[in-house]
Amino acid sequence: MGIKILSAGLLGLEAERIEVEACFGGGDMGVFTIVGLPDKSVSEARERVRSAINSIGFRFPRRKVVVNLAPADFKKYGSAYDLPVAVSILSNIYKFREEVESSLFVGELALNGDLRAINGILSIVSFAKNIGIKNVFLPSQNSLEARLIDGINIFPIKNLKGLIDFLLGKKKINQEQGSINILVEKNNVFDFSHIRGQAQTKRALEIAVSGSHNVLMFGPPGSGKTILAKSVISIMPDFVLEEVLEVTKIYSISGKLEKNGIICSRPFRAPHHTASAPAIIGGGTWPRPGEISLAHRGVLFLDELPEFSRGILENLRQPLEDGVINISRTAGNISFPAKFMLLAAMNPCPCGYFGDKEKECICSSGQLNNYRKKISGPIKDRIDIHIKVPRLNFEELINKKEEENSEEIGRRVLLSRELQLERFRPYNIFNNSEMNSELVKKFCYLDKNCLSFLKKAIKKLDLSARAYFKILKVSRTIADLRQDEKISIDDIAEALFYHSGV
C-alpha cells in the first residue's frame, strides 16, 4: 500500500482537499483504473501518467493498478491530478522522503513527463496555507502566481524526473518562498483629460463612481460613450491587496492570467451582445466565471444594452443585488463573486438619431417603444443614474481648453468614498448605492425646504417610491462629494436630473 498523497480540487473559487491513493493487485496485468467519480479528463490522466512514468526511465508497474481519488462525492475535473496520481503510484515502489506526506501536489503531465500549467493555482495554494500545509509542488509555469501567498514553500517542477529524484533524496529543487510584494498599478490608459467637452457626462460618472451607482448612457453613435466608459477605471480608487488576490483568483480559475500572473489594476470588461449566456454569466460543464465575475471590483460595460438577450439581462439581477452569481449544476450550486459597477450604453432609438439636432430620426413610434421596453424591469430598477451623451458640436471640437485629468477627479472620489466607509462601518456595506430603505431614512436626512422641494418634484413627475429612494441615494453621494453631511436643494435637483434622463 502506498501513501496518501494530498492534492486539491476546485469548487467555484475555492479549493477542496482531495486524497490520492494507489494500490497494486494481482492478476489483470496492465489494468489501470482510477476511481472516485472521475470524469473523462481524469480518465485520460491514465494515459498521460503511464507514458510520463515510462518516459522518465521508471517502469510503470506491470500489475493491476487502482488509484482512488477521495472524497468520492466531490466532482473532479481537469488535469491537475496527474502529478499526485504519478507520485502515489511510485510511492508504492520507492521509499520517498518523509516530506511527501505533508506536502500538496498538483499539475498536468505531458507524455514525456514535463509539467504543464494548470488553472486555479492561487485558490489551491491559499487552501494549502489554510489547512497548514507547508510545501506545495506545482508546475514551474505557475510558480509566480503561487508566490502571492506568503508562508508557503513553493517547489516549481519542470519534469516528473526532477521531482522523483528529489523525493528519493538524490537531487535538490530550488524552492521559492511566497511573499506579498505587489505593485498595484493605476490603469490610466484612458484618462478623462483626453476627452474633450462632455462636462455633464464626466460629472455624472464621477458621482457614479463615488457612490458606486450603476449608469445608463444614452447617445447617438460617435458621441464617445465607449471611451467615456473606458476612462471610468482611471478615477476608481487603487486596488488594495485583498482585491488583487480575489480578482487574480478569478482570472486564474478562468485560465486568463497573463504572463506575470497577477491582476494588479481594476478590470474593465466589455462583452459583446452576441456573447453566450455562460460566457457572460458563467457556467459550463466545468463551471467557469463569466464576464460579470471577470469584471469583479471593476467595470462591466454593456454597450447597446437593448441588444442583449432578455435572459442575460434577467440573470444580471442577482449579481447586481448581491454581488455574487450562483450557478446551479447537477452536482450542486457554485457561486462566483460578481461585484461590479454596471455601465450600460444605448442609442436613443434603433436608428440612433432620436433627438439629434442635425440628423433626423427615421424610427416609428412603435419601434421606439419596443426598443425602450427592452431595458425596462429588472435592469432599469438597478440603475441609479441616466445620462444623455450628446455629440459634440463644432465649437466644442475645436475648443483647446485644458480638461481636468483623472488624477484630480479620482482624488475627490476617494475623499467621498472615505466618508462613506466611515458612515457604513457598522452596517457591513461600503457605498451609498448599497443602502436599504432603513439606511436611506437614517442617512439621507432632508430639512423642511429640501423635503417640500422633493415632494413637489415627485408629484409633478409622477415618480414611484423606488424612484424616491434612488434620488435620495444619489443626492447623498453628491453631498459627499462636497464633503457635506447635509443634503441641499441643489444636490436633490441634480439627482433628479439624472433620474429623468429617459
Contacting residues toward Zn ion, per CB under 5 A: 349, 351, 354, 361, 363
Grid cell of 110 as nine digits: 505531458
In the bound state with Zn ion, the residue whose beta carbon lies nearer, of 176 and 356, is 356
Tell me the closest approach of the beta carbon of residue 313 to Zn ion, in angstroms.
22
Of 279 and 361, nearer to Zn ion (C-beta) is 361
**Identity of the residue, 156 or 352, whose beta carbon is nearer to Zn ion in the bound complex:** 352
DSSP category for residue 225? H
Cβ 363 to Zn ion shortest distance, Å: 3
Cell numbers placing 106: 498538483
Question: Which residues are registered as beta bridge partners of 32?
Answer: 65
Q: Tell how far CA 452 is from the center of its chain.
A: 43
Q: Which is nearer to Zn ion, 159 or 347 (CB)?
A: 347
Task: Kindly state the smallest distance separating residue 444's Cβ from Zn ion, in Å.
Answer: 38
In this structure, what DSSP letter does residue 195 have? S
Of 60 and 354, the one with the shorter C-beta distance to Zn ion is 354
**Contact by Cβ (8 Å): 262, 308:** no
Q: Which is nearer to Zn ion, 361 or 458 (CB)?
A: 361
Cell of 481: 462629494
| Torsion angle (degrees, nearest 10) of CA 129, 135, 140, 143 | 30
The minimum distance between CB 304 and Zn ion, in angstroms, equals 14
Tell me if 231 sits within 8 A of 409, measured CB to CB: no
Residue 348, phi then psi, degrees to nearest 5:
-65, -20
Amino acid at residue number 449: N
Residue (237 or 350) nearer to Zn ion, CB:
350
Q: Over the range 201-215, which residues count as b (16 or more CB within 10 Å of their CB) and which as e?
A: bbbbbbbbbbbbbbb
Asked if the peptide bond before residue 71 counts as cis, ω within 30 degrees of 0, the response is yes
Which residues, at least 6 apart from 263, have a Cβ–Cβ distance to it below 8 Å?
244, 247, 248, 251, 257
Cell numbers at 448, concatenated: 423642511
Q: To which residue does cell 465575475 refer? A: 293
Residue 281's alpha-carbon distances to 137, 312, 380, in angstroms, are 33, 7, 18
Distance of closest approach, residue 372 Cβ to Zn ion, in angstroms? 11
- Min. distance of Cβ 361 from Zn ion in angstroms? 3
How many Å apart are CA 191 and CA 405, to the nearest integer?
6
Q: Supply the minimum distance, in Å, between the C-beta of residue 353 and Zn ion.
A: 5
Task: Rank residues 110 and 361 by Cβ distance to Zn ion and give the closer one.
Answer: 361
The dihedral over CA atoms of 321, 323, 327, 331, expressed in degrees to the nearest 10, equals -120
Minimum distance of Zn ion from residue 332's CB (angstroms) = 47
- For Zn ion, which is the closer residue by CB, 81 or 353? 353
Query: Are 83 and 160 contacting, i.e. CB atoms less than 8 angstroms apart?
Result: yes
Q: Are 102 and 134 in contact (CB under 8 A)?
A: yes
Question: From the CB of 367, what's the least distance to Zn ion, in Å?
Answer: 7
In terms of CB distance, is 359 or 455 closer to Zn ion?
359
Cell 481537469 belongs to which residue?
A: 78
